[in-house]
Chains A and B, each alone.
Chain A
Amino acid sequence: MSDTFTGNKALEIHEPLIFETGHVATTGVDVEEPAAFESRLGGHARKTPIDLPGLTEPETMRHYVRLSRQNYAIDLGLYPLGSCTMKHNPRLNEKMARLPGFADIHPLQPLSTVPGALELMQELSHWLCAMTGMTAVALSPKAGAHGELAGMMAIRAAIAAKGETRHVVLVPESAHGTNPATAAALGYKVESIKAREDGTVSVEAVKEKLSADVAAIMLTNPNTCGLFEPEVKAIADAVHEAGAYFYGDGANFNAIVGKAKPGDLGVDAMHINLHKTFSTPHGGGGPGSGPVVLSERLAPFAPVPFLRADGTLVERADEAGEGEMPFGRLTAFHGQMGMYVRALAYMMSHGADGLKEASEDAVLAANYLKAQLADVMSVSFPDRPAMHEVLFDESFLKGSGITTLDFAKAMIDEGYHPMTMYFPLVVHGAMLIEPTESESLPSLDLFIATLRDLARSAREGDTARFTEAPRLAPRRRLDETKSARKPVLTYEPPAPYQEAAE
């Protein structure tokens, strides 16, 4: 059957822009004209029409529901986005977060009315420290990168407290991209450390760059090649020897929960993405949350608000006691309470054995993919066991005229969200796949069979399957270059509308 009259295909409904459904000259709500009043905006009142389309409530609702049906989500299918840990968000977490005692409280309520919330934060803090082998935790950062910023500010405060100034932060090229950005945002000069042939960082390469001007190293372990850093302890010792601090990026903590404690590896500060390791929703499905754990050396510098080990809450810097030197405050209140509930629900429902098993299953799933695809795709570092994610490069596509980007687009036609691509930069045309522990064996097998079939097409020269993809998505391939060079960020109504507005 060819095209339909409406452009819709049964449940696949063609959705125009909201500006095309509504009209700037209409409104979906009736608000009475206000009585005469004197503006108190001091001349800042808007002088031009706001040009927002007016829609009825059902039109508005349908627009966003239809758009949501064009979206991909963990609740729809396997989401192999490497380093992002798109694992299942258990429904039990949601049920707990909706308990009125947690959901309906307000940060300005008197403390005496919310002892349960404080106890939950205390409990979560305890387990985060226990699992990471660290001394203190600041719960308030609202995302992983925010936690990085908090950890690096604690490091800066610790260095200042010693009467020193240091200007350089070392970042291996297999680190997360937010690491150099965080260091640069704090005014540090970022020096990159090259990876070895086998994708790991050598202690010699770190020592070469260490000096009295180095404030910290920011190392991601397991790194973005999906490899555990074998010399991490020696690197930590060398960094400490030089009077610098070790920031560990905790985005990949989900690979080692219950197996290794960052504190034992010499880490001084590490953020924990509750929305990765501890299964709270990612952005879009809910706010992120990035508590940062601190070693004994950094614990005194934790930002306010923080909870003491005895459960008392320190809300302001001037309430700090002896030995407490908070570097300041990062958020208005206490951070993402709803995420704390979800993360603790995940911890309590899994228990120590369950959390360890989740890490093991995540690593097993990645290594299963690696083993099942090694003969048809190119594993970048075949000789080392993968951790929770496995890195491929585009050398298996060499000579086919197909790139990593094309391969990813063809995955969309097969109903999968693409893997992380072109990151890390350590290899050419990176494809970083993280299946997570959420997938069943049949689900992994279907994914493997799909990638094997795509690899076969590439080998056999069926380039159209790739270069023309996605063919079946609501939108065909967009011109990424043009959209970056000449972005169109505002809606321009077609001519007749413009005339009507004037």
Chain B
Amino acid sequence: MRKLRYLGRRLAGLLGILGIASLAIFLLIEAAPGDPAQIMLGTGAQPDTVAALRAELGLDRPLPLRYLAWLGGVFTGDLGMSYTYGTPVAELIGQRLVVTLPLTAMATLLAVAVALPLGVMAAQNPNRIVDSLATAFSQIGIAVPNFWIGLLLILGVSLGLGWFPTGGFPGWRAGALPALSALVLPAIALAIPQAAVLTRVTRAAVIEVSNEDFIRTARAKGLSRRRALWRHTVPNALLPVVTMLGLQIPFLISGAVLVENVFTLPGIGTLAYQALSQRDLIVVQNVVLFFAVIVLGVNLLVDALYILLDPRLRGSG
């Protein structure tokens, strides 16, 4: 019950923050130069044609009404029409999501699969070779830009070895294998900095928990080192790792925009960036809000997961 009430409070806070964020996005885009109707019709259009299109798009309505209409649209899935593509923005985001979502999911899985064992091994063998390697990996991995890793992977793996495509996305209709293989290198590029951060956090957390009294008690009661590690140390050490996963979401999204650009993947990042250069502001507005919802939503999920994982809170709800 206590847990539910806490999550309810967090959800309310999140909705408040999203309200402020959406207002900020709306006002910034409103203040941006360029009349959408003029952009759609081109500079040679007659003033009355522009005025008619403005009325059709609802751009002549007062500001607060348009904000509320947008928010209403967000809840009903009607995000308006893209100025340049001429298709509904919601449809555009949906088409791009089938690239960005698997990409970021693959990257996260890969990062966790590398970081957890590496971090635990490093913590169990302080000052040994595996520890030094893990520390070096996390220091260098954090410092290296993911889009540069992407370029190096294209250079070494795609062009050098001829494995995996250099870029582009065949679409899921072409079959799961070609689609997934187009995402392998981008996912690795995106995963390396994430794995570096998580390795560091895992190592520190395992070391810290190993020094706790309850681990010493468990060992004193005759639990083997191995059992103490997997039954008590690692589950407790997972908490900061999960928190860090949530905190890394903004970096994962930034990274996706860059890596999609390197591998010319038609994802949401590419959509946002192209919309900006084509001044398709309604797409910019909705994609930025979409990402903000993801960042904050994932953080709420992480909070919920934290409560589920925390052994101290187990069974107390």
Genuine A/B complex: no
A-contacting residues of B (Cβ < 8 Å)?
A: none
